[in-house]
DNA sequence: AGTCACCTGATT
DNA sequence: AATCAGGTGACT
């Protein structure tokens, strides 16, 4: 699930459910999740600490602790982070969990084991996230900056959008959706796009992410009760062969960087 | 700059 | 049984 909007929803939910809770005990089922740190190291760093806050950087969730350490979770492709009433009821795909002193537990559920969980002091944290590019929902994300970043790139625009070192948080779905909204073909070279079109793309990104966050909240805040119509309404993603909602042409699927890209051959050019 | 391996689960 | 998956990083 997790691109920026899903990470945001996970983070907000954690703020509600986890702040003030004290970690009594940490368990890691898969060492790979915490590598290159060790299970012992991670456990020792969170033991006895209270959760003081949560924030997000790109697709990553950062959990602040009372002892100065920060838990950094990258949700990977299938990760989810949530609080359960009792760790013994956890799903079999839970790869790590922190039992709270009140009996509840924060679990890192990641079926595909492509996510990561690390615990850092301030210096390490800074190092771990310094490579990330601009937050697309921040004031720094101006048309001028997008223009600068794109001008320096020879990549296809879709891959450019997914490059976390330039803009942090877009993945396969929302990159494709943003390009549809801006009516830009995913294979266009970023550095060749005109200022006007990049400005349109910037606006599309902000709009798509904002909408997706709303949908993600609806889906994540109410565990178990998912209502039809609350899911993000994709215009192109996964709609191969279906009609474009703008021009009616059939949405097509192509491959870029080994991933599926969906676009409308009629109005994205 | 582009391909592939990393893992497992859900779906065809 | 085979294919596909919303992400990275390590490799040509």
What would the pLDDT profile of A104-146 be if each residue is shown by its tens digit?
999 999 998 999 999 999 999 998 999 999 999 999 999 999 9
Nucleotide nearest to A115 (CA to C1'): C7
d(CA A9, CA A155): 30
The pair of three-digit structure tokens given for residue A33, joined into one six-digit string? 């999740």
Query: What 8-state DSSP symbol labels residue A212?
Result: H
Q: How far apart are CA A97 and CA A91, in angstroms?
A: 11
Nearest residue, CA→C1' of C5? A77
Reading the block at residue A89, the tokens are 């009821």
- CB atoms under 10 Å from CB of A269, counted, come to 10
Q: How far, in Å, is the CA of A197 from the C1' of nucleotide B8?
A: 40
Rounded Cα distance, A71 and A51, in Å: 10
Q: Which of A207, A244, A212, A180 is nearest to A8 (CA)?
A: A212
Measure CA of the first residue to CA of the last residue in chain A; give whole Å: 28
pLDDT for the residue A225: 39
The nucleotide whose C1' lies nearest the CA of A175 is C6
Nucleotide nearest to A114 (CA to C1'): B7
What does residue A143 show for φ and ψ, rounded to 5 degrees? -55, -35
Low-confidence ranges of chain A (pLDDT < 70): 1, 222-231
Residue A125 main-chain phi, psi, to 5 deg: -60, -50
- Using only the alpha carbons of chain A, give its radius of gyration: 20
Q: Which nucleotides of C are covered by protein (CB under 7 A)?
A: 4-9
> What positions of strand B are covered by protein, i.e. any atom < 7 Å from a CB?
1-10
CA of A194 to C1' of B12 (A): 43
Sorted by sequence, the CB contacts under 8 Å of residue A133 that are 6+ apart come out as A58, A149, A163, A164, A165, A166, A167, A168
Q: What percent of chain A has pLDDT over 70?
A: 96
pLDDT at A229: 44
CB–CB of A131/A125 below 8 Å?
A: no
Q: What is the per-residue pLDDT for A227?
A: 42
DSSP, res A190: G
Q: Write the DSSP symbol of residue A208.
A: H
Is residue A32 among the annotated active site residues?
A: no
Minimal CA–CA distance to A208: which of A4, A11, A7, A61? A4
Active site residue A59: yes
pTM of the predicted model over 0.85: yes
């Amino acid at each position: 699930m997790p691109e920026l909007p899903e990470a945001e929803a996970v983070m907000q939910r954690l703020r509600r459910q986890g702040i003030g809770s004290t970690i009594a005990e940490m368990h890691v089922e898969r060492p790979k999740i915490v590598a290159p740190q060790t299970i012992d190291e991670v456990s020792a760093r969170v033991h006895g600490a209270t959760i003081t806050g949560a924030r997000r950087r790109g697709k990553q969730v950062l959990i602040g602790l009372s002892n100065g350490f920060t838990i950094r979770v990258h949700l990977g492709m299938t990760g989810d982070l949530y609080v359960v009433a009792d760790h013994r009821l956890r799903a079999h795909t839970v790869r790590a969990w922190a039992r709270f002193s009140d009996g509840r537990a924060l679990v890192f559920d990641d079926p595909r084991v492509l996510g990561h969980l690390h615990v850092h002091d301030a210096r390490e944290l800074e190092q771990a996230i310094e490579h990330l590019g601009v937050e697309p929902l921040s004031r720094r994300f101006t048309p001028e900056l997008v223009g600068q970043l794109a001008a320096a790139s020879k990549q296809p625009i879709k891959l450019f959008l997914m490059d976390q070192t330039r803009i942090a948080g877009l993945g396969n779905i929302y990159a494709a959706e943003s390009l549809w909204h801006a009516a830009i073909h995913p294979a266009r070279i970023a550095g060749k796009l005109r200022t006007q079109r990049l400005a349109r793309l910037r606006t599309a990104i902000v709009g798509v992410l904002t909408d997706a966050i709303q949908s993600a909240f609806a889906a994540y805040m109410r565990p178990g009760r998912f209502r039809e119509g609350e899911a993000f309404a994709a215009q192109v993603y996964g709609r191969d062969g279906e009609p474009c909602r703008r021009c009616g042409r059939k949405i097509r699927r192509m491959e870029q960087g080994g991933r599926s890209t969906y676009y409308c051959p009629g109005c994205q050019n």
